[in-house]
Amino acid sequence: MTLQFVLDYRSPYSYLANSQLRRWTERIEYRPVDLVDLMKRVNNQLSPLCPPKARYALMDAKRWAMARGVPFSPNQAFFQAMRKGAIDGALLSRVAVAAQSTGVFRQVNDALFEAVWADRADLIGPEGRSAFLERLDVGGVDLWQLALADNVTERLSSHNDEAVSRGVFGVPTIFVGEEMFFGNDRMELVRSQLQARAT
């Protein structure tokens, strides 16, 4: 059985879902998306536009991380840079798409999540970005540069198109066949669906 995992690295709940899925043995198709674009297209509202919701979501994600035994320490420098417009929030999803096209996604996926939600890695400056790739040993591939290519942008856009067409309104979203599950707190239901299909 193949799962499809729709994600964005800016989402703490995507991070939490990934922390579980990485331990599963099922085949997983990862679909990085641009969450901001996706939510606008389906008329959903981003948490930062509702400060009480944003505060609660951060506290709730921390609780989930403690319950699941995974580190949780948001990369403040990264988020400050995003708020100031110094970094394009969709860049990390494009880096992931570039990693998929070059066969190094497995190393990059977990590292991107950890850099955003469990580390203080410099994802902004050129030296920090180079150091990030060096730690991953991706064969000298400059994923940051590849992420700017038109074909990567087009592929990310196609991921968004597909997600919208399937009814996705946020992340994390997991598909088991055509069955859709939204949220980090649906992992037990995903597992139950997999077991039901197996029998």
Q: What is the pLDDT of residue 49?
A: 75
Mean pLDDT for back-to-back runs of 10 residues, the chain (199 residues): 94 98 95 97 86 92 97 96 92 98 95 96 94 89 96 98 98 97 97 92
Q: What single-letter DSSP state applies at residue 149? A: S
Q: What is the pLDDT of residue 195?
A: 92
Total domains in the fold of the chain:
1
Full residue range of the structural domain in which residue 23 is found: 2-198
Distance CA 103, CA 108 (A): 10
Q: What is the pLDDT of residue 46?
A: 82
Q: What is the pLDDT of residue 2?
A: 87
Roughly what angle, to the nearest 10 degrees, separates helices 126-136 and 105-117?
130
Please list, in sequence order, all residues whose beta carbon lies within 8 angstroms of the beta carbon of residue 72, skipping any fewer than 6 positions away: 12, 61, 62, 65, 66, 117, 118
CATH number at residue 80: 3.40.30.10
Q: Residues 17, 182: contact at Cβ < 8 Å? A: no
Distance CA 181, CA 189 (A): 8
**H helices present in 9-149, as ranges:** 12-21, 35-41, 51-68, 76-83, 91-101, 105-117, 126-136, 143-146
